[in-house]
Amino acid sequence: MLKRKRQSNTQLVVAGRQVDIADQIQDFLELRQLYNAAMRKVKTKVEILGEEFQVRYNHNPIHHIECRLKTPQSIIEKLNRKGYELSLESIRKNIMDIAGIRVICNYIDDIYTIADLLLKQDDVALVRKRDYIANPKENGYRSLHLVVVTPVFLSDRKEHVPVEVQIRTIAMDCWASLEHNLIYKSSRPLPDNIKEQLKECADAVNAIDMKIRDIYRQLWQL
Ligand code: GTP
Ligand code: MG
């Protein structure tokens, strides 16, 4: 078995504790590699389902898929915000969205089809489900959020790794992206009338999704 390369002179004292900074960085890189592997695995699963639907039913439920690994800054910010310890063990235990995939579907019905088919797979276990479509957030945000765990096979062990899967329609994604952009650029607390206007946009977008779903059902499920 290959051995890890060791660096010299990488000992630091942090908060009264002796820390090997090279080891810490290496451990973090290995952790990221693990989450990256799990993310790609779940992405491939969803892609395969989409391709199968295309071949079988001439309808691909997936418009596109986005993936991202949480940045180190964002991991640290979340640990601090939630009051968790700053350590690799704490990251593994407490942060469920290091690996994130976002599945953008064409129609609302496709969201639940993809979620059900993914969760039926032997090597995918559901850890948490938040249905912000059945129960939208107060600001109007809609999406189906799942945290799933899947095994990743490494050279010397098998690790079960969580992946956050957000599934939403094109219309929901349009609102969420614009809202994120608007809120992100504004450092001030949002005035009530702005919140109301954003909520109106969310409701208008939802009305489009409902209408499109009806048209889709009329065309394909008659
Ligand atoms: P985080 O600490 O932000 O990860 O929240 P959480 O752990 O309580 O999870 P939740 O499932 O509520 O939402 C997590 C993710 O969903 C966020 O990182 C966003 O990508 C998305 N999200 C949730 N609420 C909103 C929202 O109001 N607007 C937008 N644009 N995105 C949202
Ligand atoms: Mg998050």
Structural domain boundaries of the chain? 11-171
Average pLDDT of the chain is 92
* Residue 145 alpha carbon, nearest atom of ligand 1: 11
75, pLDDT greater than 90: yes
Q: Could you tell me if the ipTM is greater than 0.90?
A: yes
Query: Which of 180, 182, 184, 194 best tests ligand 1's pocket when mutated (most atoms within 8 Å of CB)?
Result: 180
Least confident window among 115-124, 135-144, 186-195, 204-213: 186-195
Comparing 59-63, 76-80, 144-148, 189-193, the range with the smallest average pLDDT is: 189-193
> Which of 71, 141, 182, 194 to mutate for ligand 1's pocket (most ligand atoms within 8 Å of CB)?
141
Q: Which residue has the higher pLDDT, 7 or 113?
A: 113
Judge whether 99 and 39 are in contact, CB under 8 Å. Answer: yes
Closest residue by CA, ligand 1 atom 24: 141
Residue 128 pLDDT greater than 70, yes or no: yes
Q: 132, exposed or middle or buried, with CB in 10 Å at 0-12, 13-18, 19+? A: middle
Using a 10 angstrom Cβ sphere, with 0-12 exposed, 13-18 middle and 19 or more buried, the burial of residue 131 is: middle
* 164 included as an active-site residue: yes
- Asked whether the predicted pLDDT for residue 3 surpasses 80, the reply is no
> Fold for domain 11-171?
Beta Polymerase; domain 2 (3.30.460)
Tell me the pTM: 0.91
Give CA separation, 212 vs 149, 200, 208, in Å. Answer: 33, 18, 6
176 lines ligand 1 (CB under 6 A): yes
